[in-house]
Amino acid sequence: MLLSASCVAHGQRVTDRNSHLWISHFGDHKLSDHWSFHTEVHIRQAEMGAMPQQLLIRPAINFHLNPEVMFTAGYSYYYNYRYGAWPIKTGSWEHQAYQQIQFTARVGKVALQHRYRMEERFIALQNADASSESGYTFDTYLYQSRFRLRLMATLPLGKREKVEPKAWFLSAYDELFLNFGDNARLDLMNQNRISGLVGYQFNKQGNVQVGYLLQTLQRPGAANGADLVEMNSTLHVILTYNLDLRKPKTPTPAEPAR
């Protein structure tokens, strides 16, 4: 609904359909009962892997208030490549700081996860420079704010009540990206992602998932002045692996018999 309203408001638009391959890693590595270190890497390829689309590296620190609530603060680095019918002028990058809160709950066999993320984006600006090999230089940054809201559901298959080692499961999510608070021209909705995956939990620490993701991405003015709407059908492969780096607890010695 937000996408339709935005496109109507801005008039002319061009739709560009692409096929992508994304390979992702996620990990939350326990340092103590309340603290963990987050690792995340995405290798995103256009044309079903034939050419690079984007590289994303995202380390962070988590605070686990309890098993259902987790706070996170971290950093993201993006590098964007040229791809598609309406590519960017040259490769560019972005730095982000972000903060998020994540809630988990269970409704019967279904595990629900709500995630709310605030991003402070510093986007490298392209400036024409005939003396540069690429024809552009990056000597300034544009600041933008973005809010992300994701709802994900996970369902174990078979008679299991929850996802356990050596078990298959299904997961699905929808994530909405909203721009705000910038004086430049921005659409309210930056993008939306909806995905369905099938996964296998191979042990307590890790699982692998494979599925389909549809990314709807708005790029105002990117198609010769007209608004560009990318509809990106994506094969998504995810490896999740969590390490437990906590020191083993020393057993309390038993009191001598009296």
**Mean pLDDT value across residues 230-257:** 86
Distance of alpha carbon 214 from alpha carbon 133, whole angstroms? 35
CA 130 to the chain's CA centroid: 36
Position 118 in a domain: yes
Torsion, Cα of 64, 96, 84, 89 (10° steps): -170
Structural domain count, the chain = 1
Q: Worst-scoring range by mean pLDDT, 15-19, 152-156, 219-223?
A: 219-223
| CATH code for position 28 | 2.40.160
Instruction: Region of 226 please: left (phi>0), alpha (psi -120 to 50) or beta.
Output: beta
pLDDT at 8: 45
Residue 234 lies in a domain: yes
Read off the amino acid at residue 120: E
* pLDDT at 129 > cutoff 80: no
Q: Which residue has the higher pLDDT, 210 or 258?
A: 210
Asked if residue 251 is part of any domain, the answer here is no
Q: Minimum mean pLDDT among 7-21, 67-81, 96-110, 204-218: which range?
A: 7-21
Residues in the chain: 258
For range 148-152, the mean pLDDT: 97
Q: How far apart are CA 214 and CA 229, in angstroms?
A: 13
CA-to-CA dists, residue 134 to 100, 131, 137, 191, 216, angstroms: 37, 9, 8, 29, 29
pLDDT at 134: 61
For residues 14 and 129, the model is more confident at 14
The confidence score (pLDDT) of residue 187 equals 57
Is the distance from CB of 133 to CB of 103 less than 8 angstroms? Answer: no
Min mean pLDDT across 32-46, 116-130, 211-225 is at 116-130
Q: Does a structural domain hold residue 120?
A: yes
258 part of a folded domain: no
In angstroms, rounded to a whole number, what is the distance separating the alpha carbons of residues 2 and 195? 18
Can you give the residue range of the structural domain that contains 10? 2-241
pLDDT of residue 258: 61
The dihedrals phi and psi of 176, each to the nearest 5 degrees, come to -110, 135
Record the tokens describing residue 247, joined without a space.
Answer: 């020191």
**Does residue 207 or residue 188 have the better pLDDT?**
207
In the chain, how many H helices and how many E strands? 1, 14
Q: pLDDT category, 250, cuts 50, 70, 90?
A: confident
Whether residue 104 is predicted with pLDDT greater than 60 in this model: the reply is: yes
Whether the model clears a pTM of 0.85, i.e. scores above it, the answer is: yes
- HSE (side-chain half, CA atoms, 13 Å) at 9: 12
- Residue 130 pLDDT: 59
Give the pLDDT confidence score for residue 188 in this predicted structure: 77
User: What whole-number distance in Å separates Cα of residue 237 and Cα of residue 241?
Assistant: 13
Residue 15 has pLDDT above 70, yes or no: yes
257 located within any domain: no
Per-residue pLDDT averaged across 153-182, rounded?
A: 93
User: Within its chain, how far is the Cα of 31 from the centroid?
Assistant: 23
Share of the chain above pLDDT 90, in %: 74
In a domain, 250, yes or no: no
Q: Is residue 23 in a domain?
A: yes
